[in-house]
Chain A
Amino acid sequence: MNNQTATITGHRGLDHNEPLIFELDTPGQSGVDLPAPPDVNSRMGSHARNKPVGLPGISEPRVVRHYHRLSRMNYSIDGGFYPLGSCTMKYNPRINEKLARLPGLGDLHPLQPEKTVQGALELMHSCADWLMTLTGMPGIALSPGAGAQGELVGLMAIRSALEARGNPRKLVLVPESAHGTNPASAHACGYAVRSIPDDERGRVDFEAFQNALDEDVAALMLTNPSTCGLFENDIIRIADALHEAGAFFYCDGANFNAMVGRVRPGDLGIDTMHLNLHKTFSTPHGGGGPGSGPVVFSEALMPFAPLPAIEIKDGQFQLIEHIQDSGDSPFGRVKGFHGQFGMFVRAVAYMLSLGSDGLRQVSSDAVLNANYLLSQLDDVLHLPFEGPCMHEVLFDDRSLKDTGVTTLDIAKALLDEGFHPMTIYFPLVVHGAMLMEPTETESKKTLDSYIKALRGLIEQSHAGQSEKMHNAPQLTPRRRLDETAAARHPILRWNPKTEKTAE
């Protein structure tokens, strides 16, 4: 270990070495007191458990300390700038957390009688209204659990619409720059994928698209702005061509932060689009979820939207949970119950807080911040596609050629500088991609600080400091982890029989 003062305990000041809960076991101990059970005869018969589960016992104070210490090993938006492209790591407002926990919202059972949850249904309806207005689309399904499931729902509606016409067709066009969930979702919908290339402008190659568009094509899945951070100029032409060919237009709405309040995808000719409430609409990322991926629909696809739906009848909100109660042709159900209600509450609170004027300012500032990064870095980093960019900017690693320093090294060195790195090696269409999305909730000071750090690291790369870059990070809770060993000999759980590993 470099520049590390040895300590007796192995802890280092406020940074503690924290074991696994299984290594903290005090048999018989519990962090929860419970009332004594009533005296009854068991009705579990021979199905009662006859062996222990094997869980460790720990007191409440020690449990709290465990998770407190674990949390301190995490980078977070609250802690610093998080410029991950296409993730939209904006500030997660705390009022949203408070309101999601209100009695009467956070504690409702999904199958309470409808008349006892009119406020909840009204909230969902309101969420749906806002999202349809912002996107300019007439229909919506709120239920998908996250963006990827939203993609699948959009495709399922498309396939159902085509089946209703008599031919589901065979494949889906997907740009080579697309996020991996796109082809994976196409596959889950029973479609093969035909890849179409980007052109030298970082956008879909229109001619290649036209050549690929035949009668076997059910849909195009297009991210707009693209995963290169650029607005697809040909989008209306693309929509027209698809519709003429009897195909549908799926838009991946992950990058809606660039457009919210300023452009309505419905005006661009799309048929369906998923939204990520955990991106554009500020609901927290939580270390990997939960998300929420509502999907908007055009007139042609609305009838096929999945269950459940919300309708208003005689002034009362109603949940449509069964096909027989629907006047339409829902293709089925994709999730238990009604969708990620807790995220609807947060998103509604966010949309109410910002309002139509605030949301318009969001896309302005998001796009401005990204272009500011572009203008301050394009002399030291190679910009593969001419700007302006939208809410995110893409660089490649050409400027690092012959330095011995890779995109990965720069990312790891940024960790030592106190920043979470940008998205790396995505999209695949450029070499050593660095995709940066600052979002609108970062100040100019923060951007300047990041720019300074990045410029400095690139300078160090050219000044022969590749060794330092290869050894980064040095100052984080762990240094580079051996991901090869993790994959070759997967250890996916604690096992009482496993040898204690090196600390």
Chain B
Amino acid sequence: MRYLPLTDHDRKEMMETIGIRTIEELFKDVPDKALLKKPVDLPVGQSEIEVEAHLKHLAGKNLSPSTAPCFLGAGIYRHHIPAAVDYLIQRGEFLTSYTPYQPEVSQGTLQSLFEFQTQVALLTGMEVANASMYDGATACAEATLMAGRVTKRKKFILSGGLHPHYRDVTETMARFLGAETITPDPDINGQEDLLSRVDDETACVVVQNPSFFGNLQDFNALADHCHSQGALLVAVVTEIVSLGAITAPGDMGADIVAAEGQSLGNAMSFGGPTVGLLAARNEYVRQLPGRLSGQTVDADNRRGFALTLSTREQHIRREKATSNICTNSGLCALAFTIHLTMLGEEGFTKLAYLNHANAVVLADQIDSLKHAEVLNTNFFNEFTVRLSKPADGVVNALVEKGILAGIPVSRLYPSLSETENLMLVAVTETNTKQDFNAFIDHLKRALA
């Protein structure tokens, strides 16, 4: 057993030192009927050779987006991660370190988090950001609870353009705290009226930009109206690369921004782990959940960093904490910050534009087909296509040809007839001309 350094000789010696004859003596407090006398009924331990073979076998049963033209989005995106990112996050000092509770030996983590917090604030146009949440959906939920604490109100209005998972997670969390969520119909065309729903009982309105359906919107007027009613505007971003090309939520009057950072630094990994981003105005910093890395000096007056404002958190405030969150998404946040650091201003804005340009190429090609229509006027790198047949069947037909063509909206909105023929298509810098040709060719045939 390669992970167990104790030898039988060690064990014997240690037991003698302790003054016991059998290991069972150390388990004397366990009720006898609950103490298993032999190993549970599971396979015995295996070598790396066997474990690897088994997992490769499981991997082989899946269609890998690395080898297939992939146009899947809906909150998780296939992007190119520069090779250096994965090597750096696998350095043992990053991979196998703990939460930086002893700052003197954790400056690597603390400084990179400080840089991460700054980057998130810059991207979103906000003043302060935390050191990550589990994912975008829980960040969204926590943002509404935060708005509830700030405004002392219990009603959250969730746009019909919000990702259904984000809507569901927010609704679940709110319900257990006795808060009310208002969930208008899906906003396929980006024309919903949220303004008239805001009143003096509203804690916040949650909007997503680009929306779940790919629409781009300006929220200045909505933000102003919310503020006039004493409510906050929460903006959600599921494709963080979009912020390299479109107006930041902070520049549209958002008070809190909740986002998914997976697109930078993090493989899709079947949807987890990813990294939630949470940013806000300075005046709300004490209501922010999660960890915060703060700048300070050490006893030699050298600049250093430490976790701070910890009295917001569960280990000190317990039931009065801003959240129960403890472990967050440290290594994924590190991957995010390394990737974004490599891109820099030039690279990030270029990457965003490239995503958009590729998406326009495909959208134009789709629009020129019979039986398919792109619904969005404006979009970033994802749009909604209306097909002449149920999207589910079309997607399956293209999968048979080895193409991951898009996501049927019915996968996330199963009960709505008006979404049956709709398909979400995402395009990134990883899609090539050959991908587009294959997509169009096979889509034509599937729709004929």
Contact = CB atoms under 8 A, between A and B. Distances in A.
Q: Do chains A and B touch in the complex (CB under 8 A)?
A: yes
B62 A116 contact: yes
A230 B64 contact: no
B111 interface: yes
B107 A333 contact: no
A82 to B, nearest CB: 7
25 contacts: A18-B111, A32-B82, A39-B357, A40-B364, A47-B218, A74-B105, A92-B95, A95-B52, A101-B86, A103-B67, A116-B399, A231-B27, A235-B31, A236-B31, A288-B330, A306-B172, A336-B271, A337-B135, A356-B44, A356-B45, A361-B4, A388-B25, A483-B308, A491-B296, A494-B114
B46 A111 contact: no
A285 B96 contact: yes
A359 B330 CA distance: 27
Interface stretch (B163-171, B221-229, B439-447): B163-171
Contact of B247 (A39, A49, A184, A476): A49
A105 B108 contact: no
Given A37-B354, A441-B5, A148 B325 contact: yes
Contacts of A117: 62-63, 270
Contact of A442 (B5, B52, B135): B5
A113 interface: yes
A109 B273 contact: no
A487 B102 contact: no
A53 B243 contact: yes
Interface string A279-296: 000101111111110000
Contacts of A359: 39-40, 42
Contact of B414 (A290, A322, A487): A322
B314 A148 contact: yes
B373 interface: no
The residue in B39, B84, B269, B275 that gathers the most chain A C-beta atoms within 10 A of its C-beta is B269
Nearest to B293: A492
Given A55-B348, A104-B62, A188 B107 contact: no
Contacts of A18: 111
B177 A188 contact: yes
A77 B96 contact: yes
A335 interface: yes
Contact of A483 (B136, B296, B320): B296
A189 to B, nearest CB: 5
Contact of B14 (A89, A307, A368): A368
Nearest to A348: B55
Interface in B319-358: 319-321, 323-334, 338, 340-351, 353-354, 356-358
Nearest to B13: A444
Contacts of B301: 502
A327 interface: no
Given A44-B216, A147-B326, A87 B98 contact: yes
Given A184-B323, A349-B51, A40 B357 contact: yes
Interface residues of A, number: 210
Given A49-B247, A63-B338, A336-B271, A34 B297 contact: no
Contacts of B347: 30-32, 34, 57
Nearest to A45: B378
Interface in B85-133: 86, 88-100, 102-109, 111-115, 117-119, 121-123, 127-129, 131-132
B118 A333 contact: no
A108 B65 contact: yes
Contacts of B218: 46-47
Interface stretch (A207-215, A338-346, A394-402): A338-346
B144 interface: no
A404 to B, nearest CB: 18
B438 interface: no
A360 interface: yes
B292 interface: yes
B108 A74 contact: yes
A120 B36 CA distance: 32
| Main SS at interface, chain A | loop
B14 A478 contact: no
A49 B168 contact: no
Given A53-B243, A333-B169, A181 B348 contact: no
Given A1-B300, A147-B327, A375-B19, A108 B3 contact: no
A184 B315 CA distance: 9
B216 A45 contact: yes
Given A288-B331, A371-B20, 15 more contacts: A22-B118, A38-B360, A40-B360, A76-B93, A103-B67, A115-B399, A116-B63, A287-B334, A288-B329, A337-B165, A342-B269, A352-B45, A411-B102, A479-B299, A486-B306
B131 to A, nearest CB: 7
A450 B7 CA distance: 19
B436 to A, nearest CB: 10
A493 B121 contact: yes
A336 B361 contact: no
Interface string A312-334: 00000000011011000001111
A234 to B, nearest CB: 9
A340 B361 CA distance: 34
B331 A111 contact: no
Contacts of B52: 95, 98-99
Given A112-B63, A444-B14, A478 B104 contact: yes
Contacts of A411: 102
The residue in B56, B319, B357, B412 that gathers the most chain A C-beta atoms within 10 A of its C-beta is B319
B169 A476 contact: no
A464 interface: no
Given A75-B106, A103-B64, A415-B105, A120 B270 contact: yes
A164 to B, nearest CB: 15
A301 interface: no
Interface in B64-88: 64-67, 70, 72, 74-76, 78, 82, 84, 86, 88
B72 to A, nearest CB: 4
B379 to A, nearest CB: 6
